[in-house]
Amino acid sequence: MAKKTKKKTITMDKLPDNAHIAGAGLVEDQSITETLETNYMPYAMSVILSRAIPEIDGFKPSHRKLLFTMYKKGLLSGARTKSANIVGETMKLNPHGDAAIYETMVRLSRGYQALLHPYVDSKGNFGRAYSSDMEYAASRYTEAKLEPIAGELFRDIDKDTVDFVDNYDNTMKEPTLLPVTFPSILVNNNLGIAVGMASAICSFNLREVCETAIALMKDPDHDISSTLLAPDFPGGGRILYRREDLEKVYQTGRGSIKVRSVYSYDKEANCIDITQIPSTTTVEAIIAKLVELVKNGKVRDIADVRNEIGLDGLKITIDLKRGVDPDRLMNRLFALTPLEDSFACNFNILIGGVPRVMGVREILEEWTAFRTECVRRRVYYDLSKAKDKLHLLKGLAKILLDIDKAIQIIRATEEEGEVIPNLMIGFGIDEIQAEFVAEIRLRHLNREYILKRTDEIGRLEQDIEEMEGILKSAAKVKSIIIGELTEVAKKFGQPRRSELLYVSEIEETAAEVEEEIPDYPCTFFFTKEGYFKKITPQSLRMSSVHKLKEGDEIVQTVEGNNRCELLFFTDKATVYKAKASDFGDTKASVLGDYVAGKLGFDEGESAVFMVVTTDYSGYMLFFFENGKAAKVELAAYATKTNRRKLVGAYSDKSPLVAAYRILEDVEFMLTATSGRMLLVHTGAVSAKSTRSTIGVQVMTLKGKHTLAKVLPFTEDMAVKPNRYRTKTLPAAGALPAAEDLGEQLTL
């Protein structure tokens, strides 16, 4: 049985004589289920339907009322107005306090930086989404208007594209939805907590969303992951990409996405600068956690932490103690602090007044259906207007036959009320057409004016035919939507803010500090057959005679230390990364380590060049058989994580002839199979940060000839090197002089 509550009885004799309260002193028993149904359920339904859960246009009622008010105030263009004016006007649609309305406006603003594509162009202090201490100024101090992209929310709203309803006091009309021309529900993040349910929709890149929506309209079986790479958060960060996790989110609308902060290491100041953090946390929360870890002795490598938010934006500075490895420390902090956080997805959206949790495909299908209805209603509205205008113009065309007759009818009619019937009888037109003719000004009753107006008849008939064709063809409606999506993507699309960090390429590190790598000098040897040796100076002094396989030879000798990083470029346009400490010390009298086996090369893959570095300075030069050369910054191969394999290390459009690392620009001698030689200065080749760049043409090749050999230039290569130099690239080079071939001319 349901519990019953008892109330204390108040007797009538204790009330004042002048108190008459109906039903006073009576106690009524009521079951808890009835109380929930009559009192709690209406409140719960109101929160779900009218406050917390967004609809297919991407907005909650509070957002929609605010933006529509700004639109009606003409704030799509012109100057900004005080935020207080906007808040006051919005209260005609939204019967809540001004504080709640202004807070909604703040979140939609550019200054607050909570959205990928803000809808409110703000001026003044609107606070920051990433800081809980930065409060926004009062509405009387700030100004705002609508951003240009907001025009896409209201396009053709006055053409009956959506339904309008009365506001709370029946004095105004407001739209139930906005006729958005792009899937804004996925473009800007949306969070809401209702009663018994919630919604958490992450943001995606506008261009990717539009491309995916177009692809799904063309092919319902389209692979969403191929165009919608991953969420794109307004604060940036690095998304830990797991395809299976994203597939779950795309299919079910539920799942979790991990986001890491973005940092850089300042070697001179010995500090870490954090410039991007997950959108689910704040600067203050991160600093508080760091301070707690230092106080508890869990992290001993931090000397100081500072909040350096300024005009340039977010910045947290972590000062390090001497000798601390910044990457290793950050890996620990990712595990212990909100510097790495998760966004819990829950794509709960109101569809026809019913909350539904949907995957990305289903959301885009629902949006397409909604937008299709908007377009059809707009076309039908234009069609009705065109038909009405055509009807009037046809009536006007009839009086063209005898303008004098029309004037005579009007002049001869004694009573004003008889003008319309007489015109109808005289020209065989209906009442609407007669009313239109009768309202024409006297100055317009000339042949030129009437001819100009009736010239529109042919164009209107053509437009009507076209619009009727659209209403009959679903394909034409889709074509219109695709055109609008393409236009929006082109006009408002932005590059991704959140980088993708592939989890499969991340070597997970333990939270505890790893054993320090010993540092001592050593010499590295790399052979033509792909063998590697790391030899200490002491061992090298004892024996410098190398043991090699038959036909093998040493092609690179580099001095370094045990903390150096090694990059092995292969003939499959791949680079394998390793640390010098990964290889054991050896002697010249042994073959050494076979790099392909040690680093797990793919079958048939061979190492062709080795780079030894500590700071990734300088450039990589790649020369190809087609005569092109690519100059890539070595920093392009640096990674924040311990990735062992990087594909696309250089272009594979043409076979590689030679690879070199340079610290400064020098000259190289290129020799083609035709025998021609060309001296190229690397300063003439512009550096690229993209590893797989195809490079620039440096040597012109004719016929089936290719580039055969590339060597660093030395003075003994040519007697007259200017013969092979050129002022412009590309160049064909010159055939070698006799003296350069070691020949002697005779008479």
CB-facing half-sphere around the CA of 191: CA atoms within 13 A: 10
- Angle between helix 98-107 and 83-90 (nearest 10): 120
Say if CB 126 and CB 134 are below 8 A apart.
Answer: no
Active site residue 594: no
- Beta strand pairing status for 628-633 and 696-697? antiparallel
Tell me the C-alpha distance between 286 and 288, whole Å. Answer: 5
Tell me the C-alpha distance between 369 and 358, whole Å. Answer: 15
Of the residues 40, 43, 141, 520, only one is catalytic, namely 141
> Which single residue is written with the structure tokens 């954090």?
274
Q: Give the type of residue at 314.
A: L
The token duo for 584 is 């054991």
Question: How many residues appear in the chain?
Answer: 747
The DSSP annotation for 23-68 comes to TTT------HHHHIIIIIHHHHHHHIIIIIS-BTTS--HHHHHHHH
Say if CB 405 and CB 472 are below 8 A apart.
Answer: no
Enter the DSSP assignment of 196: S
Say if CB 724 and CB 718 are below 8 A apart.
Answer: yes
Strands (E), 43-166: 81-82, 120-123, 143-146, 164-166
Tell me the C-alpha distance between 742 and 747, whole Å. Answer: 17
Enter the DSSP assignment of 510: -
The token duo for 547 is 């043991």
Spatial CB neighbours of 490, under 8 Å, sequence gap ≥ 6: none
730 prior amide bond cis, ω within 30: yes
> Would you say the C-alpha torsion 102, 108, 111, 113 has a positive or negative sign?
positive
**Which residues on neighbouring strands pair with residue 579, listed in sequence order?**
565
Neighbours of 513 (CB within 10 A): 14
Name the strand (E) or helix (H) holding 719.
none
Closest by Cα among 569, 523, 564 to 544: 523
Phi, psi of 589, rounded to the nearest 5 degrees: -80, 5
Closest by Cα among 276, 225, 283 to 497: 276
**Which residues on neighbouring strands pair with residue 191, listed in sequence order?**
200
> Would you say the C-alpha torsion 554, 558, 563, 568 has a positive or negative sign?
negative
- Angle between helix 360-399 and 206-218 (nearest 10): 80
Spatial CB neighbours of 214, under 8 Å, sequence gap ≥ 6: 482, 485, 486
Tell me the C-alpha distance between 259 and 130, whole Å. Answer: 14
421 prior amide bond cis, ω within 30: no
Per DSSP, the three-state class of 319 is strand
Tell me the C-alpha distance between 499 and 493, whole Å. Answer: 16
Say if CB 141 and CB 58 are below 8 A apart.
Answer: no
Enter the DSSP assignment of 486: H
> Which single residue is written with the structure tokens 């909040």?
307
Distance of CA 347 to the CA centre of its chain: 18
The DSSP annotation for 344-393 comes to EEE-EEEETTEEEE--HHHHHHHHHHHHHHHHHHHHHHHHHHHHHHHHHH
- Beta strand pairing status for 348-351 and 628-633? unpaired
Residues labelled as active-site residues: 141
